[in-house]
Amino acid sequence: MNGSRTQRHDTSAPPVTAADLYDRSGRPHGSDIAQGELGDCYLISTLGQYADRQPGVIRDAIRYDARDQSFGVTLHDAAGRARTITVTQDDLRADRAYGVDHTGGVSSPARWAGTHADGSRPPAWPGVMEVAYAKLNAASPRDATGTDLGGIAGGGWPRNAIHALTGQSDTREVWASQLRDQDKAYELLKGSIRDGRAVLLATNPMKDTPTDGLVKGNYLGDGNPLNSGHAYTVERVSKDKDGNVSLTLRNPWGDNSFPKQGVNSLDPIVHVRLKTILDNGHLENVTIGPGLVQRRTASDATHTGKAAKQNGAPGASTVDDVPRFASGQATAGDPLRDRWSQVAARARQDTSAGAPVTDAAVQPVSDQPVASDPHRRYWSDLAAKGLELMKTSQGVTQTDVASPTRRLGRTP
């Protein structure tokens, strides 16, 4: 996935601080994103989905250091290790030149100046996250821009961005051939959205300019390795009385204004028929992210750069060192099974609200002092797994308790 378009941006702007990360609500929104010159639609759309579906994943990842006006962003490398990446003001100035538009999707001349029409500054979190992801995947030596941004500019896949955000590898890719049963596709997508999962749609590049509402993509000939499609967020799914499934998508550009690509609207939202984009070959796949995510915090992460020096570069913690008193309690035939179900339900409620799993949610299954318990993340992960198993009418087993790392799809 690439899906970029060339723009130019004003790089002059005052330093970004913690107060600039979000709007007045104090949380990220999918409408904050507006992809810039980089071909990283796969990343920007993924950020937008987590902003709306699991905002805590974004908020918990970013920390601001007022001493040097830098940000520390906790992401996960290919092996699943949590690492905190230092994002400097110089990094953000480069990103304003090449990366996200820092305008919250404002489609106006002020868009390229880095401010809203009223002079206010748009949320900065998309740029902070984009730079951090670029530095996590940085090439050596740096590209022609003199930054680390080139490593993510040539396209990629939502599954990799999801893994970097969550550290979990149980992302599902559903290919076009698997979505032809309209009823099953509807139930899958509806259920995933209801559960707060990130859902991304990827397109194939088209030889001819389409009229289905989606951008054409970069088509250079059959089999050309430089062919690239585009990634959208799936906002909603609906089905009419005749069984026709429609998708409401958001273009990470922040609008749909590119006539040569077959779209000409300032609205980033587009409505498409699933059958249409299947029949014309435009739909490649749908990526569905993991369910409830309890992120590692900065204190759990392996730090890089300046952050490592300040924090002593502790090793990444694992969930294997959990108190062994838990083993054997949550078996399928155990009376405490209902309590695990309650924990899972509460975890879902708290996570949907962008909050951590609370003491009240975990206390029924443990006599440990939860607030100060160093294994609190273990309980949260187990609760999330419990919710997944509830949906398949399974119980939380002793294996789930004893080996949460393997069962949760993480690489130790």
Rounded Cα distance between 112 and 267, Å, is 17
pLDDT (average), residues 110-128: 64
Residue 199's Cβ-side half-sphere holds a number of Cα atoms within 13 Å equal to 22
Instruction: Give me the chain's average pLDDT, please.
Output: 73
| Confidence label for 258 from pLDDT (cuts 50, 70 and 90) | very high
Give span(s): CATH 3.90.70.10, the chain: 172-288
Instruction: Supply the pLDDT for residue 319.
Output: 26
Digit-coded pLDDT (tens) for 341-366? 555 555 545 444 444 444 454 444 44
Q: Which SS3 state, helix, strand or coil, does residue 132 take?
A: helix
Asked if 168 and 256 count as a contact pair (C-beta separation under 8 A), the reply is no
| Nearest by Cα to 218 from 204, 231, 201 | 204
User: Mind giving me the DSSP string for 292-356?
Assistant: S-----GGGSEE-THHHHHHT-PPPP-SSS--GGGTTTT-TT-TTHHHHHHHHHHHHHHHHTT-P
pLDDT (average), residues 84-103: 79
Digit-coded pLDDT (tens) for 14-26? 899 999 999 999 9
**pLDDT surpasses 60 at 387:** no
pLDDT (average), residues 125-144: 81
| Confidence label for 210 from pLDDT (cuts 50, 70 and 90) | very high
Of the listed ranges 93-107, 125-139, 221-235, 398-412, the least confidently predicted one is 398-412
| Confidence label for 121 from pLDDT (cuts 50, 70 and 90) | confident
| Confidence label for 38 from pLDDT (cuts 50, 70 and 90) | confident
| Nearest by Cα to 234 from 245, 243, 247 | 247
pTM: 0.68
Kindly state the tokens that stand for 371. 């607030």
| Confidence label for 266 from pLDDT (cuts 50, 70 and 90) | very high
| Confidence label for 182 from pLDDT (cuts 50, 70 and 90) | very high
More confident residue, 405 or 400: 400
More confident residue, 335 or 28: 28
Percent of the chain residues topping a pLDDT of 90? 49
Rounded Cα distance between 404 and 375, Å, is 12
> Under CATH, domain 172-288 is a member of which superfamily?
Cysteine proteinases (3.90.70.10)
Pairing assessment for the beta strands 245-250 and 256-258 based on DSSP bridges? unpaired
Residue 208's Cβ-side half-sphere holds a number of Cα atoms within 13 Å equal to 5
Digit-coded pLDDT (tens) for 287-343? 999 987 554 444 444 333 333 333 322 222 222 222 222 333 334 444 444 555 555
Instruction: Supply the pLDDT for residue 373.
Output: 44
**pLDDT surpasses 70 at 96:** yes
Instruction: Supply the pLDDT for residue 202.
Output: 97
| Confidence label for 1 from pLDDT (cuts 50, 70 and 90) | low
| Confidence label for 380 from pLDDT (cuts 50, 70 and 90) | low
**pLDDT surpasses 70 at 272:** yes
**pLDDT surpasses 60 at 384:** no
Q: What angle do CA 211, 214, 217 make, to 5 degrees?
A: 105
**pLDDT surpasses 70 at 185:** yes
**Residue type for position 160:** N
pLDDT (average), residues 167-176: 94
